[in-house]
Chains A and B, each alone.
Chain A
Amino acid sequence: MAFVPDYPVETARLRLRPFTRGDVEAVFAYRQRADVARYLFDEPMSRESCTEVVQARVGQTGFEQEGDKIFLAVERLEDSAMIGEVSLILRSLESRQAELGYIFNPDFHGLGYATEASRALLALGFEGAAMHRIHARCDARNVASWKVMERLGMRREAHFHEHVLVKGVWDEELIYAMLEDEWRTRRDA
């Protein structure tokens, strides 16, 4: 398949666009924070690590084969502040499965930005890339994150208990998912 959306993608308050090398400082601003790293697989990052992360994200803007990733920087329209990132990973071509992800700077939490940006990415996934099911996961303690999934209308499909050790601690993980017909029903409601 070949799927590359037209960028930027705009919502009411946000702009989703491919990463550029100039995003390092904005990414460092949130990836250096312990409260952000707490629920990610990574530890708080140095500026050097962020440079590598951003470089790896540049150019990941479309789907062609399984495992391909779309990483988009999220900016506020009003002041072009880079407030976070969203991602969509093509997990299975045959069964049209993708995984949604997001990381936002806590300075901009609580304003509905993560929900707004993720909804735009679900639209790209279901309508642009013709995905059948999109899932997302988070640490069960990350209440703000799974609240976003619930606001998006995703269903809780899994709650795993102590199924893996993450950073030396027993993990509890939630998986939420949405099917293409559920997306359409919500959109047309």
Chain B
Amino acid sequence: MSASDLPIETERLILRHFEKSDLDSIMAYHLLPEVQRYLDRKARDKTECKAALDGMCAQRRLHRPGDTLTLAVARKSDELLIGQASLRWTDATAGQAEVRFVFNPTFCRQGYATEAVRAAFDLGFDHFGFHRIFARCGAKNHASARLMKGLGMRLEAHYREHALFQGEWDEELHFAILDREWRRGTKVKEIPTHLVA
């Protein structure tokens, strides 16, 4: 499955493939310790950030389960790259995918992450036809948990001390949403009452 609909435009954002020229923009947040913690691969210096960027540049389509599509999220107004969102296809027969996102803390609290993840859900359910999309986050990551709840995801799991993460007991939340729940929640727009004759 290719993502031929890219780039995706939302009200304030553009979701597009990563390019080699995004290095400075991703270093601006990958190098932060509070972001570092949630990254797939270490990005402690420019060399590691470049390797991470190369990896993300290559994640352009979902051909088979296990593949990841990673999108750079940029602001429409100034084309500034503010974060990333990805879909990982985890199970073909059951149509499952995981959504992940990382944003530059400088641009937090403005609803950008929600807007980008909402676009990723549309892509996942409408374009790729997934049945269920899930997301995980640490129990202390309140901002992410709030975002997922706000999008109508259901808290399906709260694991306590199920694994060691960087030497500490981990506590993990799983959120999920089914295609029919997403469509019911977002696609069927009610006619505002003041417009009803």
Contact = CB atoms under 8 A, between A and B. Distances in A.
Interface string B149-184: 000001011111111100001000010101000000
Contacts of A95: 161-164, 169
Contacts of A159: 156-157
Interface residues of A, number: 21
Nearest to A171: B94
B47 interface: no
Nearest to B165: A95
A27 to B, nearest CB: 30
Nearest to B177: A161
Contact of B154 (A155, A161, A164): A161
A185 to B, nearest CB: 14
Nearest to A132: B161
Contact of B159 (A132, A163, A177): A177
Interface residues of B, number: 21
Contact of B156 (A92, A160, A170, A177): A160
A35 interface: no
B22 interface: no
B181 to A, nearest CB: 9
A132 B169 CA distance: 10
Interface string B67-99: 000000000000000000000000101101000
A163 B94 contact: yes
Interface string B125-162: 00000011010000000000000000000101111111
A162 B156 CA distance: 11
Contact of A163 (B132, B161, B164, B169): B132
A94 interface: yes
18 contacts: A95-B161, A95-B162, A157-B160, A157-B162, A158-B158, A158-B159, A159-B157, A160-B174, A161-B132, A161-B178, A162-B132, A163-B96, A163-B132, A163-B134, A164-B94, A164-B96, A165-B93, A179-B161
Interface of B: 91, 93-94, 96, 131-132, 134, 154, 156-164, 169, 174, 176, 178
